[in-house]
């Protein structure tokens, strides 16, 4: 048989044990929330970093396009310049048939 002192002691410990279990459960949930929160922060930080690299890629593409346009302008300028003697090397599109 259980003595009354042991019953009172067990009842007082049961309440503390219940609170301890609740704290442990809450702690595990808080750890999970913290891990989820840090993962979200890391993901958003990485997403921001990749957007910046996209801007730099855009600058490189724009620079390449500008270089191509400047080369095209130079070619047009050479084609339009009548004083340029370098046209002798290129075919003019005229054809001359000579029969002997």
Residues 50-96: tens digit of each pLDDT: 555 555 666 677 778 888 899 998 988 888 876 655 545 555 667 77
Q: Which residue has the tokens 């346009």?
A: 69
CB < 8 Å & 24+ apart, contacts of 36-39: none
pLDDT of residue 99: 78
| C-beta separation of 42 from 35 below 8 A | no
The Cα-based distances of 75 to 71, 78, 91 in angstroms read 6, 5, 16
CA distance 84 to 87: 7
């Amino acid at each position: 048989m259980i003595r009354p002192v042991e019953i009172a002691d067990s009842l007082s410990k049961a309440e503390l044990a219940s609170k301890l279990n609740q704290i442990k459960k809450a702690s595990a949930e808080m750890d999970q929330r913290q891990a989820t929160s840090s993962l979200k922060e890391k993901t958003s930080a990485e997403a921001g970093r990749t957007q910046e690299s996209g801007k730099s890629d855009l600058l490189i593409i724009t620079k390449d396009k500008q270089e191509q346009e400047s080369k095209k302008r130079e070619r047009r300028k050479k084609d339009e310049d009548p004083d340029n003697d370098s046209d002798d090397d290129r075919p003019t599109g005229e054809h001359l048939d000579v029969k002997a």
